[in-house]
Structure 1
Amino acid sequence: MQLSSNSLSEKMTFSTVFNDFKQLTKVGLSLSVVFSSLAGYLLAVEKIQLSTLILLAIGGYLMVGASNAFNQIIEKDTDALMKRTMNRPLPSGRMHVSMAMVIAVSFTIVGLAILYSINPKSALFGAISIFLYTSIYTPLKAVTPLSVFVGAIPGAIPFMLGWVAATNNFSIEPGMLFLIQFFWQFPHFWAIAWLQFDEYKKAGFNLMPMGQKNRKAVVQIIIYTVCLTLVSIIPVLKITGSFYIYPLTALILVFLGSTMLYYAIKLYKHQTNKEARQLMLSSVLYITLVQIIYVVDKFLH
């Protein structure tokens, strides 16, 4: 009986440690970033190399995991003030800061080494992403809503990183992929900031544009949603090098963008969390489908 009780306790401990590890590195977010990188890679290559694809997935995951771990080390005290984050491994005391630091540093070194093994430019963009997210975006969050603009840069790197990993070249095509994901960050993140407004306030964060949760903020969301849709269909004009799409694909993207715009306008009218949540979910659907549609379109050329 004692043996089975010990095994149960070990299992529970392992389960807790594993869940804490997943929370520290934000596995869900990291996997969505890996998805973006792989989509960018598939858009660029003529012939898929499985080894590069696997290295990109692992390197990309470690890069984002490192950024998230550093972020949670820096925000340990503010995380303790918010319901959404107070049960994370560091504020709850289940994990020591030194352990989190070991994970963050290990992920950074191994992740960048893996990206470097693909090509040096991939490692460079990976390093820029970790640096901006950890050293500039995270501290700025407590200072100014403009931090969202800084955070949008590392947030937009993964899609572009896939193209760079495939070609070892930064040109108009990966620049375009960067621009698409850059504009997408704003309606997506401001919808989250709307939902978490009171919680963020407790921690001293105000991430809404101009610091206000009102119609003026939603006007910004609407503007960026329109810009996102326009930028997403620019490749139909065939002015973006080897990255171009069919007119039918552009029409599908306009429809997807219009769906996001519909929820943004609803948020403008009603200003409730229900519309903000709908906008946030439609933005996640948008970026996921856009990446899939681009890849499908490419393989139809």
Structure 2
Amino acid sequence: MSLGKKEIPLQKFLNFEVDSITPIHIKTSLKSMFNDFKQLTKVGLSISVVFTSITGYLLGAETIDYTIVLLLAIGGYLMVGASNAFNQVIEKDIDSLMQRTKNRPLPAGRMTVTTALIIAIVFTIVGIGILYSINPKCALFGAISIFLYTSAYTPLKAVTPLAVFVGAIPGAIPFMLGWVAATGEFGIEAGFLFLIQFFWQFPHFWAIGWLQFEEYNKAGLHMLPMDKKDKGAIVQIIFYTCIMILMSVAPVLKVTGNLYIYPITAVIILLLGILMLYYAFQLYKSEENTDARKLMLASVFYITIVPIIYVVDKFLH
């Protein structure tokens, strides 16, 4: 029986006609689907979150169980991927208004909402199950992270600048999640790891908010304090950067339970924090996007290097 030009679900999904199928078409379509999958789940961001979780695990573990490390990596990746997929489903129309996001799979029409939801739901169920196999607290924090990110932070962005504070909660879970995976407990140590990443998010995301202010404003998203691109917003960036630095060096004072760092480690972290402050003050002076970009990059460097420094310090004890 000849199919002729009639479309069937598979060919519609792959976006070519049955009678024109060639190995090149299949290869191109599969590559396109994989790229869309990476965009939907934000693979780069997911991997960075997994990295932070693993450093938290290394800080809390007395001995390294590589099975748990693997489960934490997979479960953490699925949790972040699910959150990102749900986020893009909810913000499909908003994403179509911004240059930075209009080519994502959903607003560009390359993926259906149903497909994205299936991916998000499967990732959620499997991810929570994997985290539960480590311990129930890990699964609980993973579920809280997805719920707050998708049900509170994402819709609140279109309502109030306070959305950034709400979003900072799920965003701060990965570092301490690793500690909970290692110990099965949420104590003062995990709390401080949470606070470091919690306060870090304000200078980081407000720097992004500064860079993307016009696009966010056009789309109706509130990503800067008081919805203003002014010195008042930068003062808050400086304030929260200072708190982040204090949280980061606090373990040197032996006030964070089993989480302790050497004085030299605290000095190194302090210098990294001062680097962020320098760029924040430069932004205050210039109010230019170039300095906001430097601050954003400095914040990424900070949250990448500080967990590594913590781990190195631990293994030097």
Match status 1:203 vs 2:216: no
Quote the residue 2:200 is aligned against: 184
1:280 match: secondary structure: helix
Matched, 1:273 2:289: yes
Structure 2 unaligned segments of length 5 or more: list them: 1-18
Q: Give the percent of matched residue pairs that are identical in Structure 1 and Structure 2.
A: 69
Q: Which residue of 2 aligns with 1:35?
A: 51
- Cα-to-partner distance string for 1:41-91 (whole Å, 9 max, x where unaligned): 000011100000000000000000000000000000000000000000000
1:124-162, CA deviations, whole angstroms, 9 ceiling, x for partnerless residues? 000000000000000000000000000000000000000
Residues 1:126 and 2:169 are matched in the alignment: no
Report the secondary structure of 2:109's partner residue: coil
Structure 1 position 118, deviation (Å): 0.3
Code of the residue aligned with 2:74 in structure 1: it is I
The correspondence of residues 201-240 of structure 1 with structure 2, limited to 5 A, is 201-240=217-256
Which residue identity is paired with 1:186? F
Pairwise mapping of residues 243-254 of structure 1 onto structure 2 (< 5 A)? 243-254=259-270
CA–CA distance in structure 2, aligned partners of residues 239 and 184 of structure 1: 20
Structure 1 equivalent of residue 180 of structure 2: 164
1:291 aligns with 2:302: no
CA deviations on 1:86-143 (whole Å, 9 max, x unpaired) are 0000000000000000000000000000000000000000000000000000000000
Cα distance in 2 between the residues matched to 1:142 and 1:85: 16
Please give the residue correspondences for 1:19-168 in structure 2 after superposition, counting only pairs within 5 Å: 19-168=35-184
Question: Residues of 2 paired with 1:14 and 1:199: CA distance?
Answer: 32
CA RMSD between the two structures? 1.1
Letter in 2 for 1:251: V
> Higher Cα Rg: structure 1 or 2?
2
Q: Which amino acid aligns with 2:65?
A: Q
| Secondary structure, aligned partner of 2:110 | coil
**Counterpart residue number, 2:23:** 7
Q: Counterparts of 2:220 and 2:28 in 1: how far apart (Å)?
A: 35
The TM-score, its normalising length taken from structure 2, stands at 0.93
User: Paired residues, what number?
Assistant: 299
| Counterpart residue identity of residue 249, structure 2 | I
Deviation at 1:206, TM superposition (A): 2.0
Q: How far does residue 5 in structure 1 lie from its aligned partner after superposition?
A: 7.7
For residues 316 and 21 of structure 2, the distance between their equivalents in structure 1, rounded to whole angstroms, comes to 58
Q: Report the alpha carbon displacement of residue 239 of structure 1 after superposing the two structures with TM.
A: 1.1
Give me the TM-score of the superposition, normalised by structure 1.
Answer: 0.98
1:27-47 residue CA offsets vs partner (Å, 9 max, x unmatched): 000000000100000000111
1:4: Cα distance to partner?
Answer: 11
State how far apart, in whole Å, the 1-side matches of 2:164 and 2:129 are.
29
**CA offset at residue 194 of structure 1?**
0.3
The reply to whether residue 255 of structure 1 matches residue 282 of structure 2 is: no
Looking at structure 2, the residues matched to 131 and 241 of structure 1 have their Cα atoms a distance apart, in angstroms, of 30
| Deviating 4+ runs (over 2 angstroms) | none
Code of the residue aligned with 1:138 in structure 2: it is T
Residues of 2 paired with 1:206 and 1:105: CA distance? 27
Letter of the 1:74 counterpart: I
* Residue aligned with 2:108, SS: coil
Q: CA deviation at 1:202?
A: 1.4
Q: In structure 1, what residue type is equivalent to 2:141?
A: F
The answer to whether 1:264 aligns with 2:284 is: no
Alpha-carbon distance, 1:207 to partner: 1.0
Question: Aligned partners of 1:206 and 1:214: how far apart in 2?
Answer: 14
